[in-house]
Structure 1
């Protein structure tokens, strides 16, 4: 229900009830302004875009902490997110209301990550992604009407050229390392698997007949959880990797010299 009434002081009072039945009102000098505001609110209610004005006043930190505890982050990601917020975000916006943070505020903050905190471009982008996720969730929760992170200008990350070790250096490293880990060196050099993915491989992931390994898990380490087996980094990280002859030979030699479940010698 919505209506407009003229008050004894000649102001026009526009009122409406939100989806929870709570009444909201504003006063205007002109009836046409009251009607325009009421039309905008009514349209937002009908289209599902309505944002309770009180929601925008919620402190950023309060909402960000609620968001953080709801996320299904892996322990390492959860630790990084908490650190981003504590070190780089809350000092700037701890007492600011969600709806009071504008695109210009975000842009100034992003620039400060590089100029004040001396963060690398890649780290600046990572911290920004955390804040962007908070504001996207706030829009979905109808806490704010728009995400102030949209169209923010981020520092470019220079591409790093990956230069693999020459074959002779790989062979030399494999020759110098203890025999139990020789196959690990050769397999890593031949496949490019991440260290955690290499450490997470088990016999069931190896198919020597078809010369492949399946990446289905990885070894991770976190302060509160120690070393544990977890899922690969992303959904795309689940994959089957072909093995060149040098990797197949290295795995065969490793399984011959160090059979699975055999005691270490």
Structure 2
């Protein structure tokens, strides 16, 4: 094998003349690996100048590994998801995969204005390109989220919306009768008419989620020394400001439960007075309920992934495994519910009419009907968790007690529920009055 004819040492790197009379430049990168210039040089001066440029990039902190030019965002994203899969919760991993497939691995937008980052190498993705991508995601997500069924039947059977429009009486959840399905088919199987929502912030949540995912992927690329700076640096792009959730009053909780289908009434009371997450409520088994002690044990949560059977896994956080005491009225309602629906200890507490788990889609349909009936169209199942935490704080729960009750390890999360309220202030005033009067 031919050897270099001579080697010239310098302050940074080295140049050597090859038997072909051309010059090769080599240097050691910050990762300890030796690298050569992509091509040889006709003169020693050209090789020296190339090394000087490499040295300048290292000193400025703008140097990137040459092999980074060959790694596309698509390939790196696939590796990023694969490496994190063992450490992510199933729902989180499914969300990341869907976000990546929809917004990062495919072109965003239409026609000549479409932005496609997937085929670009990591080092060619600039802040300008990221801003163009973000604008395209914002517009596309807004257009997609603004299209709604006239009766909010997302995830439901279109025959149910048709039946409502035709004046037929159908339950908000559960199986449709053969007669309704036959009538719908005879009518031509009409689909819900789509309308445009006027909400200016439609799609903002999914846009922020997509941006946070891209930012996380590129942050890892910086850590891997494939790029020197994260080009995803749009202030506030990953943050969404939601309207403040107004907790329900105790009377509203009772009214909401009464407006629910029979098999979900007690679930509303448990959710609103315990502060459990919806997935935790509908993962409870009869063995988790201790009527005599007036408490329940949270040891798992329901996991729903599109096109997959319902599964159950550990709670969202380590603090999620906990025992939660219930008010007497809720314990009594639970006792009556369990007595009216006898089953095995391992059976779910709240089920469908056929004994299966209650999926989020069915729960949401029932919630829409009930919340409209009591005049609170803003309520969601997660809203009940907020209500339970707020009521516990108003009752005087300390931060540590509230963190245990709602299953949080973050003091910040607990402090959100300990905001001042008029009702709590009146309670404190009454307590101070007692002290004043001795």
What's the counterpart of residue 121 of structure 1? 204
Contact 1:56–1:99 (CA under 8 A) maintained in structure 2: yes
Is the deviation greater in 16-25 or in 220-229?
Answer: 16-25
Contact 2:294–2:327 (CA under 8 A) maintained in structure 1: yes
When residues 22 and 105 of structure 1 are mapped into structure 2, their CA distance, relative to the original with a 3 A threshold, is same
Unaligned segments of structure 1, at least 5 residues: none
What's the counterpart of residue 51 of structure 2? 34
What's the counterpart of residue 136 of structure 2? 112
The SS at the match of 1:15 is: strand
Q: After superposition, what is the alpha-carbon deviation per residue over 1:80-139, rounded to whole angstroms, capped at 9, x for unaligned?
A: 222222222231212111111112222232233223442622221111111112112222
Task: Supply the distance in 1 between the matched residues of 2:299 and 2:321 (Cα, whole angstroms).
Answer: 6
TM-score (norm 1): 0.76
Contact 1:103–1:152 (CA under 8 A) maintained in structure 2: no
When residues 89 and 2 of structure 1 are mapped into structure 2, their CA distance, relative to the original with a 3 A threshold, is same
When residues 57 and 199 of structure 1 are mapped into structure 2, their CA distance, relative to the original with a 3 A threshold, is same
Deviation at 1:17, TM superposition (A): 4.6
Task: Supply the distance in 2 between the matched residues of 1:103 and 1:153 (Cα, whole angstroms).
Answer: 15
Tell me if 1:196 matches 2:196. no
Equivalent of residue 95 in structure 2, options 70, 75, 80: 80
Tell me if 1:57 matches 2:54. no
Deviation at 1:200, TM superposition (A): 0.7
What's the counterpart of residue 332 of structure 2? 249
In terms of Rg, which structure is larger? Answer: 2
Unaligned segments of structure 2, at least 5 residues: 1-11, 108-115, 143-201, 348-353, 356-438
Q: After superposition, what is the alpha-carbon deviation per residue over 1:27-61, rounded to whole angstroms, capped at 9, x for unaligned?
A: 775957734633765998xxxx9842112331111
When residues 3 and 152 of structure 1 are mapped into structure 2, their CA distance, relative to the original with a 3 A threshold, is farther
Contact 1:187–1:247 (CA under 8 A) maintained in structure 2: yes
When residues 204 and 139 of structure 1 are mapped into structure 2, their CA distance, relative to the original with a 3 A threshold, is farther
Task: Supply the distance in 1 between the matched residues of 2:323 and 2:131 (Cα, whole angstroms).
Answer: 41
Equivalent of residue 135 in structure 1, options 184, 198, 218: 218
The SS at the match of 2:37 is: strand
The SS at the match of 2:296 is: strand
Contact 1:59–1:94 (CA under 8 A) maintained in structure 2: yes
Contact 1:107–1:153 (CA under 8 A) maintained in structure 2: no
Task: Supply the distance in 2 between the matched residues of 1:210 and 1:43 (Cα, whole angstroms).
Answer: 66
Contact 2:96–2:213 (CA under 8 A) maintained in structure 1: yes
Q: How many residues align?
A: 258
Equivalent of residue 227 in structure 1, options 310, 334, 343: 310
Tell me if 1:16 matches 2:16. no
What's the counterpart of residue 3 of structure 1? 14
Contact 2:303–2:312 (CA under 8 A) maintained in structure 1: yes
The SS at the match of 1:226 is: coil
Contact 1:60–1:95 (CA under 8 A) maintained in structure 2: yes
The SS at the match of 1:85 is: helix
Whose strand fraction is larger, Structure 1's or Structure 2's? 1
When residues 87 and 181 of structure 1 are mapped into structure 2, their CA distance, relative to the original with a 3 A threshold, is closer
Contact 1:186–1:246 (CA under 8 A) maintained in structure 2: no
Equivalent of residue 89 in structure 1, options 100, 104, 119: 104
When residues 257 and 131 of structure 1 are mapped into structure 2, their CA distance, relative to the original with a 3 A threshold, is same
Contact 1:215–1:240 (CA under 8 A) maintained in structure 2: yes
